[in-house]
Amino acid sequence: MRKSIKTIAAGTLAIALAACSTTGQTDTKSASSAPAKSETPFPSTYTPYPGTPTALVNATIFDGKGGRIDNGTVFFSGGKIVSIGGPHTPVPADIAVFDGTGKFVTPGIIDIHSHLGDYPTPSVQAHSDGNEATSPTTPEVWAEHSVWPQDPGFTRALANGGVTSLQILPGSANLMGGRSATLKNVPARTVQGMKFPDAPYGFKMACGENPKRVYGGRGRMPSTRMGNFAVNRQTWLDAKAYDGKKRDLAKETLKGVLDGEILVHNHCYRADEMALVLDMAKEMGYKVSAFHHAVEAYKIGDLLRENDVCSAIWADWYGFKMESYDGILENAAFLHREDACVVIHSDDANGIQRLNQEAAKAQAAGKRVGIDISDAQVIRWITLNPAKAMGIDGMTGSLEAGKMADVVLWNGDPLSVYSRPEKVWIDGALMFDAMDRKRRPVSDFELGQPGEGDVK
Amino acid sequence: MKRALTLAASVLALAAAPAAAQDFVITNATLATGDGSEPIERGVVVVVDGKVAYAGPQAGAGAFETDTVYDVAGAWVTPGLVATVTTLGLADVSGVSESNDVRPGSSPFNAALDVAPAINPSSQHILVHRAAGITRAATVTSPAGSIFGGQGAIIDLGADGQPVTRAKAFQVVAFGEGGARLAGGSRVATYVAFANALREAQDFARGRWDAESAMLTRADAEALGPVAAGEQALYVSVERASDIRSVLGLKRDFPRLDLVLVGASEGWLVAREIAAAGVPVIADGLDDLPNSFEELASTQSNVGRLAKAGVKVAINAATMENPRNLNQYAGNLVALARIPGADGLSWGQAFAAISSVPASISGLGGKAGVLAPGSMGDVVIWDGDPLEVGSVPTKVFIDGVEQPLDNHQTRLRDRYRELDESRLPEAFDW
């Protein structure tokens, strides 16, 4: 096995002490060059599971960047993509070769918005660890401290959804919900064993109905949308005045956002509210990486493009709350038309198993109104675009030489309801194989229970 | 602007005078009749007086006279989908309590509740789901004040003022964890509550009911009479295998119960017993997580395994984000048939699980969810394989009447086709 638990604990202590003397002045060039790992008190201990050099040949490949290769080859070794190309791409002899005739290859699917582990199943009260709903702003909490690695939902996302990386967010009760955790979707005993190495932290914020309902219901601020903004702005101003002399977990996170090292993921449905958030971000000097649940993004596609903000959306959720009443099926297509960044997300332990189908629904809605978006571009919505908004696009999200070998072999067109992942590799290790029941993970919780080991 | 104005005028006209059923013929269809068979090429559907007169291969169609012929050039044609266990027409926005009639939590009445007069056929959810090819639905309230949720209705999704096909079509009762909570915190209490209610209903029916000693209200005791007599179906929410066995066992004390299991996530573990009891199941289609301790064995193979055991099984619309995903769920069950160790459905079976089977469970066997002589003229023409994601209807007929497919969503779509503010504000574009 990898690092023992004891070693991790000792390491954590040393790093936590070290963090006192650093002030987070890392010069961050891009979102994907994260702050130095040594500043993180709960460092990733993830190491890839063993893999063998593998080539997938004769498949239709969507590279995640918008490219398509018919009769293509992907070759990976040492956990990295080595080469990708047409039928004449050289592949070493004596390695595992899978014939992909009639099959499709995509990068591993990435869900930018998941609560697996922090709202795990069984979804009993004892497992309700997603919302620290005790104060409207809790920048000090970190989702990784809630994630239960044994959540059976991780395995379903792998087997049915081909999900290889995902961002676990705290919930949306609070204006500022805390830090996210970016994970590799592998079975592990500890959350550190799942943490995506060198991924930057995300920061969850929430607009609109949720914070005002939760706190207004308790007779405290915020109880209105104007209250939401007032609390947010004052919290940012206080953070800007933070001198770092005495450690303050909340302000360390906010400072990380202001320094561009932590990426803001803002739950926000309504177009008018997103526009206000963008102004607030300018006022305070931070950037929004993605609006999540951006049901009305289609109304401001131009503004979102100009501000380089992704919209993480469902294909067709609408009408379940007031701020979702203007949801339309063409949301993604209209954003695409404006050249704004589209991400299809789940926020759901079932939906994460079918992100490919949700993307296909959004594509079809566009086609009906004359917006023809290629299959290869649509796959980008669930691979490279979420990776970009999560700051891991330098490492995964597309099939390019040197990137992590996070790869899905589908038994048919991934944009068809009739297709399923046949094999899923994470960093070159075969983590799921529909044809081999021993490559089907069973979480600790499921052992000895009815249905253990079923295909699910 | 002019085009939009014309559209508005036509919508107004339609609203004022709903079209009458018109006889028509559909030719050159890829025809799925909904009965579980596989689709046929070059199919023909003949609708006369709002009912199907013929549906099948062109060769068998014989002669017919009509001015209205739709040559669909190979497009898919099916019966309207039947969504069972929905709240369609009971809420505008589920999160806006003022608009939501789904859970009558502080009502003194339970079994007597009847959704029929509360159905709003103008709800956007009805309009959106009509545009998704759903023509009939079972609409229910959720048990809130007792284990009994009240009487559900079968509705149509037509653009007229009469949404109810059949009122008081079935009674709803919660067992398992949900029933335990409502009965007093334990499954043990559920069985006593159920037996007591049925006995009071029997007493009421025999004129022996005594208000002084009764626990039910008069209205509830009266409402449960048809359930005890087997004249009204009883939809039982239940998930765990052991709970399913106990629910099937209720027939020992109340042999006339017309049981339908709803949910049944662990149904596959007791599939043979369900089949032997002849009880149909409205099963959660794709649930595969141990969402609660009563669903530990849930799997996407549940429906396939139940069907294989001979159970009449429909897909439950209640557990999906919205019922318009019924066809996606059915398509997924077809996909599952290709996974070793999993159990899925054939295309015909999968389509039946969202058309003729739920119709049959709803008491509309042979009438809805199927295209056959004498069935309702609920016909849908699609722009693709109806089980494929992204396919939508191009035309929907209910009782032979062509339906408008526009709604709040399509109007927003048309308004935001372009973000051009150089002329008048968007507010004038309607």
Instruction: pLDDT band for B17, please (50, 70, 90 cuts).
Output: very low
Angstrom distance (rounded) from CA B4 to CA A18: 66
CA atoms within 13 A on the CB side of B208: 6
* Closest partner CB to B419 (pick from A124, A302, A318): A302
Least Cα distance to A42 among A16, A76, A23, A20 occurs for A16
Angstrom distance (rounded) from CA B430 to CA B417: 13
What does the pLDDT read at residue B212? 95
What number of C-beta contacts closer than 8 Å exist between A and B?
163
Instruction: Please check whether residue A353 touches B, CB under 8 A.
Output: yes
Instruction: Please check whether residue A152 touches B, CB under 8 A.
Output: yes
CB neighbour list of residue A304: distance below 8 Å, 6 or more residues apart: A274, A291, A297, A310, A311, A335, A338, A340, A341
Domain termination site, one of B345, B365, B385: B365
Asked if A325's CB is within 8 angstroms of B408's CB, the reply is yes
Best mutation target, B87, B99, B296, B351, to test chain A (most A CBs within 10 A): B296
Instruction: Please check whether residue A318 touches B, CB under 8 A.
Output: yes
Asked if B391's CB is within 8 angstroms of A437's CB, the reply is no
Q: Over the stretch B289-323, which tens digit does the pLDDT of each residue have?
A: 999 999 999 999 999 999 999 999 999 999 998 99
Residues of chain A contacting residue B339, judged by C-beta atoms under 8 Å apart:
420, 434, 455
Token output for A258: 């202001």
Best mutation target, A303, A317, A329, A452, to test chain B (most B CBs within 10 A): A329
Q: Over the stretch B158-187, which tens digit does the pLDDT of each residue have?
A: 999 999 999 999 999 999 999 999 999 999
Instruction: pLDDT band for B19, please (50, 70, 90 cuts).
Output: low
Asked if B336's CB is within 8 angstroms of A446's CB, the reply is no
Asked if A153's CB is within 8 angstroms of B93's CB, the reply is no
- Whether residues B288 and B388 share a domain: the answer is no
What does the pLDDT read at residue B63? 83
- Whether residues B136 and B67 share a domain: the answer is no
Q: Decide if B69 contacts B404 (C-beta within 8 A).
A: no
Q: Domain tally for chain B? A: 2
Establish if A334 belongs to a structural domain: yes
Within 10 angstroms of residue A441's Cβ, the number of other Cβ atoms is 17
ipTM of the complex: 0.94
Instruction: pLDDT band for B384, please (50, 70, 90 cuts).
Output: very high
Residue type, B190: T
- Whether residues B292 and B213 share a domain: the answer is yes
What does the pLDDT read at residue A395? 98
* Closest partner CB to B296 (pick from A156, A320, A449): A449
Least Cα distance to B270 among A450, A122, A121 occurs for A450
Asked if A152's CB is within 8 angstroms of B125's CB, the reply is no
Cα of B333 to nearest chain A Cα, Å: 8
Asked if B390's CB is within 8 angstroms of A301's CB, the reply is no
Asked if A298's CB is within 8 angstroms of B335's CB, the reply is no
Token output for A425: 């590799």
Q: Decide if B175 contacts B238 (C-beta within 8 A).
A: yes
- Whether residues B335 and B351 share a domain: the answer is yes
Asked if B298's CB is within 8 angstroms of A124's CB, the reply is no
- Whether residues B250 and B144 share a domain: the answer is yes
3-state secondary structure of A245: coil
CB neighbour list of residue B6: distance below 8 Å, 6 or more residues apart: none
CB neighbour list of residue B135: distance below 8 Å, 6 or more residues apart: B79, B80, B81, B82, B156, B157, B158, B368, B378, B380, B396, B398
Q: Domain tally for chain A? A: 1
Cα of B334 to nearest chain A Cα, Å: 6
- Whether residues B150 and B179 share a domain: the answer is yes
N-to-C CA span, chain B: 8
- Whether residues B71 and B182 share a domain: the answer is no
3-state secondary structure of B376: strand
Residues of chain B contacting residue A453, judged by C-beta atoms under 8 Å apart:
none
* Closest partner CB to B389 (pick from A300, A417, A455): A417
3-state secondary structure of B76: strand
Which residues are A107's β-sheet partners?
A407
- Whether residues B151 and B166 share a domain: the answer is yes
N-to-C CA span, chain A: 27
Chain B residue nearest residue A355, CA to CA: B389
Q: Over the stretch B354-377, which tens digit does the pLDDT of each residue have?
A: 999 999 999 999 999 999 999 999
* Closest partner CB to B328 (pick from A160, A417, A446): A417
Chain B residue nearest residue A116, CA to CA: B289
Angstrom distance (rounded) from CA B143 to CA B402: 36
Asked if A322's CB is within 8 angstroms of B390's CB, the reply is no
Assign residue B62 the CATH number of its domain. 2.30.40.10
CB neighbour list of residue A236: distance below 8 Å, 6 or more residues apart: A254, A258, A280, A284, A286
Asked if A418's CB is within 8 angstroms of B388's CB, the reply is yes
Least Cα distance to A5 among A222, A189, A257 occurs for A189
What does the pLDDT read at residue A36? 43
Element (H, E) at A166: strand A163-168
For residue A228, what are the domain limits? 109-395
Torsion angles phi and psi, residue A311, rounded to 5: -115, 115
Residues of chain B contacting residue A368, judged by C-beta atoms under 8 Å apart:
383, 392
Within 10 angstroms of residue A86's Cβ, the number of other Cβ atoms is 11
Assign residue B352 the CATH number of its domain. 3.20.20.140
With pLDDT > 90 as the criterion, what percentage of chain B qualifies?
90
Q: Per the omega criterion (within 30 degrees of 0), is the bond before A41 cis?
A: no
pLDDT for residue B415 is more than 80: yes
Domain termination site, one of B330, B365, B400: B365
**pLDDT tens string for chain A (456 positions)?**
333 333 333 333 333 333 333 333 334 344 444 444 446 899 999 999 999 999 999 999 999 999 999 999 999 999 999 999 999 999 999 999 999 999 999 999 999 999 999 999 999 999 999 999 999 999 999 999 999 999 999 999 999 999 999 999 999 999 999 999 999 999 999 999 999 999 999 999 999 999 999 999 999 999 999 999 999 999 999 999 999 999 999 999 999 999 999 999 999 999 999 999 999 999 999 999 999 999 999 999 999 999 999 999 999 999 999 999 999 999 999 999 999 999 999 999 999 999 999 999 999 999 999 999 999 999 999 999 999 999 999 999 999 999 999 999 999 999 999 999 999 999 999 999 999 999 999 999 999 999 999 999
Asked if A122's CB is within 8 angstroms of B293's CB, the reply is yes
Asked if B286's CB is within 8 angstroms of A350's CB, the reply is yes
Residue type, B239: E
**What are the residue ranges of helices labelled H in A249-330?**
249-258, 271-284, 301-306
pLDDT for residue B5 is more than 50: no
Asked if A451's CB is within 8 angstroms of B296's CB, the reply is yes
Q: Over the stretch B98-120, which tens digit does the pLDDT of each residue have?
A: 999 999 999 999 999 999 999 99
Asked if A318's CB is within 8 angstroms of B340's CB, the reply is no
Q: Over the stretch B189-231, which tens digit does the pLDDT of each residue have?
A: 999 999 999 999 999 999 999 999 999 999 999 999 999 999 9
Establish if A285 belongs to a structural domain: yes
Q: Decide if A331 contacts A371 (C-beta within 8 A).
A: no
Q: Decide if B402 contacts B415 (C-beta within 8 A).
A: no
Token output for B370: 């199927």
pLDDT for residue B11 is more than 60: no
Element (H, E) at B31: strand B24-31
pLDDT for residue B428 is more than 90: no
Asked if A451's CB is within 8 angstroms of B297's CB, the reply is yes
Which residues are A97's β-sheet partners?
A55
Best mutation target, B416, B422, B426, to test chain A (most A CBs within 10 A): B416
Assign residue A240 the CATH number of its domain. 3.20.20.140
Chain A residue nearest residue B97, CA to CA: A321
Token output for A165: 């990386």
Best mutation target, A121, A156, A335, A418, to test chain B (most B CBs within 10 A): A418
* Closest partner CB to A418 (pick from B289, B299, B331): B331
Chain B residue nearest residue A329, CA to CA: B409
Asked if A357's CB is within 8 angstroms of B328's CB, the reply is yes
Instruction: Please check whether residue A447 touches B, CB under 8 A.
Output: no
Asked if A449's CB is within 8 angstroms of B297's CB, the reply is yes
DSSP secondary structure, A49-100, as one string:
PP---EEEEEEEEE-SSS-EEEEEEEEEETTEEEEEESTT----SSSEEEE-
Asked if A325's CB is within 8 angstroms of B94's CB, the reply is no
Residues of chain A contacting residue B328, judged by C-beta atoms under 8 Å apart:
354, 357, 361, 417
- Whether residues B139 and B175 share a domain: the answer is yes
* Closest partner CB to B93 (pick from A320, A369, A411): A320
| Partner B, chain A 272-301, Cβ-Cβ below 8 Å | 298-301
- Whether residues B32 and B86 share a domain: the answer is no
Residues of chain A contacting residue B93, judged by C-beta atoms under 8 Å apart:
319-322, 324-325
- Whether residues B129 and B272 share a domain: the answer is yes
Residues B372/B377/B378/B380 CA torsion (nearest 10 deg): 80
Establish if A57 belongs to a structural domain: no
Q: Decide if A41 contacts A80 (C-beta within 8 A).
A: no
Residues of chain B contacting residue A415, judged by C-beta atoms under 8 Å apart:
389
Cα of A128 to nearest chain B Cα, Å: 12
- Whether residues B105 and B32 share a domain: the answer is no
Angstrom distance (rounded) from CA A34 to CA A196: 11
Whats the size of chain B, residue-wise?
Answer: 430
Q: Do the strands A181-184 and B379-382 form a parallel or antiparallel pair, or are they unpaired?
A: unpaired
For residue B53, what are the domain limits? 1-80+369-430
Long-range CB contact pairs, B406-410, < 8 A, 24+ = B406/B11, B406/B127, B406/B131, B407/B124, B407/B127, B407/B128, B407/B131, B408/A325, B408/A326, B408/B124, B408/B127, B408/B128, B409/A318, B409/A327, B409/A328, B409/A329, B409/B124, B409/B128, B410/A328, B410/B131
Element (H, E) at A57: strand A54-62
Instruction: Please check whether residue A365 touches B, CB under 8 A.
Output: yes
Domain termination site, one of B322, B343, B365: B365
Asked if B416's CB is within 8 angstroms of A369's CB, the reply is no
* Closest partner CB to B416 (pick from A298, A348, A419): A298
Token output for A217: 């219901």
Taking CA atoms, A401 is separated from A79, A394, A397, A405, A423, in Å, by 11, 11, 12, 9, 20
Instruction: pLDDT band for B66, please (50, 70, 90 cuts).
Output: confident
